Chains A and B, each alone.
Chain A
Amino acid sequence: MSDYIIGIIKTGVWETLQMTFFSALFAYLIGLPLGVILYSTSKGRLLENRIVNLIVGTIVNILRSLPFLILLVLLIPFTRFVVGTSIGTIASIVPLTVGAIPIVARMVESSLNEVDPGIIEAAVSMGASPLYIILHFLIPEAVPSLLLGGAINIATVLGYSAMAGVIGGGGLGAIALQYGYYRYQKNVLWLTVALLVVMVMVIQEIGILLSKKKRKV
């Protein structure tokens, strides 16, 4: 493999990490509150509210059921509006974030559902406000599970980021497509695949490690 290709792959790894990191970050900034809303407005919970739960739930379900490739294409005008272009690493962060938000929201909701409702009841009996309960009881108790879910979500975003290569995003996905697929450079294809696998595994292991370290049960 030429130095040129190796240089491109190095850049690709860096771009993939950037896309994954920022998309996951933004997806959590929006998806975490959405997950809390989904949890706390559902039946029998702290802020039970059927209408809010139905609206948020429906939006999340629609977004989640769209195949990511379709979402990529659909979001091109929106991406242009937000970052001024629909091509490149930064542009890919927009559809990646939008695609990851519903996944994060549902993952957060399911982590929160694992928290013993008795703890919430105890918090209510202590005179804690709903916001206090969410911040100081619910989320801290769910942290180990949230970390595990986080690792899964980041790995998913990483996989999606490869797809972003199709519509002009950067990263390893684009390299695999351009060099491996269009130019039949099998070794480039395999190398990018291997790198993606290693990255997913590292993320997953870090998640498990952090979760174990945090879990005091």
Chain B
Amino acid sequence: MGNIYELQHVYKTYRNDGKEFTALKDVSLSVEEGEIFGIIGMSGAGKSTLVRTLNRLEEVTDGKVLFYGKDLSELRPRELRNVRHSISMIFQGFHLLSQRTVIENVEQPLRIAGISRKQRKEKAREMLRIVGLEEKENEYPSRLSGGQKQRVAIARALSSDPKVLLCDEATSALDPKITGEILELLKRINEERRITIIIITHEMSVVEKICDRVAIIDDGNLAEVGKVREIFSSPKSDAAKKLVFPSNPFESGTSGGKLIRIVFDGTRASEPIIANLVEKTGKKVSILSANTKSVGGIGYGQMVLELPENSGDQKIIRDFFENSGLVVSEVTKYE
């Protein structure tokens, strides 16, 4: 399948009271049709700015945002509005009309597109069925819970039959259980309706659960982009490592001691690697921290180990892990 989006050397600079702030620096990436693409970064990294360039809520300062090969910045206002019918967006704050009922909210994009009243109602009801809120159509948003509001927003976003759904921190205001439900809903929509989904988040768990590929944004730069599995098993950039690995609060108890982190992916996650080490080399290590997670059904894990003082032993241990196919790296405190 082709690319739905292609970003070429995108820059965004804000000027405010003579001060310049560059929110995006030379970001180039592409999003494939039909995938769930994550954009992750710390707050202030520029990810929200990035997603807003995708429907031109933000104008880029330099570079190009191509939507199906069309440069968005070249569109005239009317053309842009038409293109926006196929780029829907949901937000952290839901942004529903508080003075309109649920179904009237869902109808809005259809009204804008000039669809007749009868067709609007029908379509809106169908969308509410998809998100499981058909019995709430005459309620006002204030009567709904956060998760329900986001479902209404999703129904509204889907009503115009978009090609892509942009999610700007769509689950950040929700508790973990509701977040899980919303993510499942998004996944289902992606699979059943073949809608490309682009998710902005600061939570790695969101990316783990549903994204196919992920881009890591750090201080306005694209630090890394790739398949979620690959980034989980071998993050290359510092920004990616920071997001994938929990911060290590320990330091070596002895002066010559060293801390290493070993990372194992699904193919080895079931092997008793530490037991093997002791059995094969007779060297011992202490486990300072360890965790595993499941990404797309495959387990990934990492451990922080403390090595003995003797540098010869250290080499033997490192060699053993590397020969077992694990990624080994030295860590210091808070890394």
Chain A interfacial positions (CB closer than 8 Å to B): 116, 118-119, 121-129, 132, 136-137, 140-141, 143-144, 214-217
- The answer to whether B99 and A214 touch across the interface, beta carbons within 8 angstroms, is yes
Which of B84-92, B125-133, B186-194, B252-260 contacts its partner?
A: B84-92
Known A124-B57, A125-B55, A127-B112: A140·B100 in contact at CB below 8 Å: yes
- The answer to whether A127 and B109 touch across the interface, beta carbons within 8 angstroms, is yes
- The answer to whether A118 and B112 touch across the interface, beta carbons within 8 angstroms, is no
- The answer to whether A126 and B160 touch across the interface, beta carbons within 8 angstroms, is yes
Interface size on B, residues (CB 8 A): 30
Closest to B78 in A: A129
Return chain B residues, CB-CB under 8 Å to A136.
108, 111
**Interface SS majority for chain A:** helix
- The answer to whether A125 and B98 touch across the interface, beta carbons within 8 angstroms, is no
Closest to A144 in B: B99
Closest to A116 in B: B95
Contact among A126, A144, A214 for B109, CB-based, below 8 A: A126
Contact among A121, A124, A127, A216 for B98, CB-based, below 8 A: A216
6 sampled A-B residue pairs with Cβ under 8 A = A116-B93, A119-B95, A125-B89, A127-B80, A140-B97, A217-B98
Known A125-B57, A127-B109, A132-B112: A137·B97 in contact at CB below 8 Å: yes
Q: Does B142 touch A at the CB level, under 8 Å?
A: yes
CA distance A106 to B50 in the complex (A): 36
Return chain B residues, CB-CB under 8 Å to A124.
57, 84
Return chain B residues, CB-CB under 8 Å to A137.
97
Known A137-B97, A140-B97: A216·B142 in contact at CB below 8 Å: yes
The 5 A-B residue pairs with the shortest CB-CB distance, nearest first, are A127-B84, A122-B95, A216-B140, A127-B81, A118-B95
Contact among B93, B112, B142 for A126, CB-based, below 8 A: B112
- The answer to whether B99 and A143 touch across the interface, beta carbons within 8 angstroms, is yes
Min CB distance A27 to B, Å, is 24
Known: A118-B95, A119-B95, A126-B88. 14 other contacts (CB 8 A): A118-B93, A122-B91, A124-B84, A125-B55, A126-B85, A126-B109, A126-B112, A126-B160, A127-B80, A128-B108, A132-B112, A137-B97, A140-B97, A215-B99
Return chain A residues, CB-CB under 8 Å to B294.
none
Q: Does B237 touch A at the CB level, under 8 Å?
A: no
Return chain A residues, CB-CB under 8 Å to B160.
126
Closest to A124 in B: B57
Known A216-B142, A217-B142: A126·B98 in contact at CB below 8 Å: no
Q: Mark B54-85, 1 if CB is under 8 A from A, else 0.
A: 01010000000000000000000100111111
CA distance A57 to B69 in the complex (A): 43
Known A128-B81, A143-B99: A118·B111 in contact at CB below 8 Å: no
- The answer to whether A140 and B91 touch across the interface, beta carbons within 8 angstroms, is no
- The answer to whether A127 and B100 touch across the interface, beta carbons within 8 angstroms, is no
Return chain B residues, CB-CB under 8 Å to A122.
89, 91, 95
Min CB distance B122 to A, Å, is 19
